[in-house]
Structure 1
Amino acid sequence: MTRASLFPIIIAGVIAMIVAVMGATVTDIGPWYRSLVQPSWSPPDVAYGIAWTVIYALTAMAGVRGWLAITEWAEREWLLGLFALNGFLNLLWSFLFFRLHRPDWALIEVIGLWLSVAALIIYVWRRSTTGGILLVPYLLWVTFAGYLNMTIVRLNGPFP
């Protein structure tokens, strides 16, 4: 492993940890969340931490695969921009749902989050098939989370 290939691994890992910690910080599993009616198929709370840990790890690996497959700096800037947009939308969803207590707004926002993951898959896949495949579980999870979000809105809405 060369220094040039080690750098993106370290950066991707650090960024994934920052987004994960920020997401955990805005996620408040308190009385408001506990009072929401959940569908019977809602996963246990521990499943979310496990799922997000795996997703962040796979996303970081996909970013590294994409970065190493790209030789032009302009393409790398696009890659970074897409990952930055995705990280922002990921955090925004948590903020809307858990901090503002607006699952209805989060349901609208999850569409943008889903599209950002799809854009990442397409962009990375064209440069690294393996990298693109590593992002598919993220898209599946956001699809599931969006459906869960919609169900929570149906069971609990309207929201003030």
Structure 2
Amino acid sequence: MSTETTRRAPAAGPSPLVSLGCLFIFLGIVFVTAAAGGSVTATSVGGWYGGLAKPFLTPAPWVFPVVWNFLYFMMAIAAWLVWRAAGSFDKAGFALSLFGIQLSLNLAWSIVFFGLKSPVLGVAVILVLDVAIAGTIWAFLHASRLAALLMLPYLAWTLFATYLTVAIALLNA
């Protein structure tokens, strides 16, 4: 038998319906996590957080939910693109595991900073989060350049949030 007859056609990707379903799953996972973090944040943002000394460049309160919702949307799209590019959850497992870790750390930061009212512990969590996001971008780059690019604004905003967290910890020590 010749090699021409033994070659298989490339595997077809997921059907459009399956792909759309997975997109909504990624959006759901990300926005449920965001809602959990937001509910923790809401318990302290008006009282405890309002009374903290804040650094130069602290945005107006309305900026945070606008930016975060945009970033969460882009994060979900990025994860979906990695899944599609890999062709399966098995093949995207490493990159999506890193994505899950950084998403969990994102939630952990809200719990530690706002829930526990601990800027110092918040610094520790956000520094690990910064590294986890960078690692996720690196892993995403191997699967989808667009996915990696969609994560860059999230890294930039989180680095800005790192500045705010460190400054709040120092100003309120």
Give the TM-score of the pair, scaled to structure 1: 0.93
Give the Cα–Cα distance (whole angstroms) in 2 for the partners of residues 100 and 124 of structure 1: 32
1:133 and 2:149 aligned: yes
1:154 and 2:167 aligned: no
1:10 counterpart letter in structure 2: F
Which secondary structure does the structure 1 equivalent of 2:143 belong to? coil
Task: State how many pairs are aligned.
Answer: 157
Match for residue 9 of structure 2?
A: none
Which secondary structure does the structure 1 equivalent of 2:55 belong to? coil
1:101 to 114, 117, 126: 117
1:65 and 2:102 aligned: no
Match for residue 89 of structure 1?
A: 105
**1:63-95 deviation digits (Å, cap 9, x = unpaired):** 111110003543322233212211210011011
Give the Cα–Cα distance (whole angstroms) in 2 for the partners of residues 84 and 107 of structure 1: 20
- The answer for unaligned runs of 5 or more in structure 2 is 1-14
Do the aligned partners of residues 35 and 73 (structure 1) sit closer, same or farther apart at CA in structure 2, a change above 3 Å counting?
A: closer
RMSD of the alignment, in Å? 1.3
Give the Cα–Cα distance (whole angstroms) in 1 for the partners of residues 30 and 133 of structure 2: 15
- The answer for unaligned runs of 5 or more in structure 1 is none
Match for residue 37 of structure 2?
A: 23
Give the Cα–Cα distance (whole angstroms) in 1 for the partners of residues 27 and 47 of structure 2: 33
Percent identity between matched residues is 31
Q: Which has the higher helix share?
A: 1
Q: Where in structure 1 do 4 or more consecutive aligned residues deviate above 6 Å?
A: none
Which secondary structure does the structure 2 equivalent of 1:43 belong to? coil
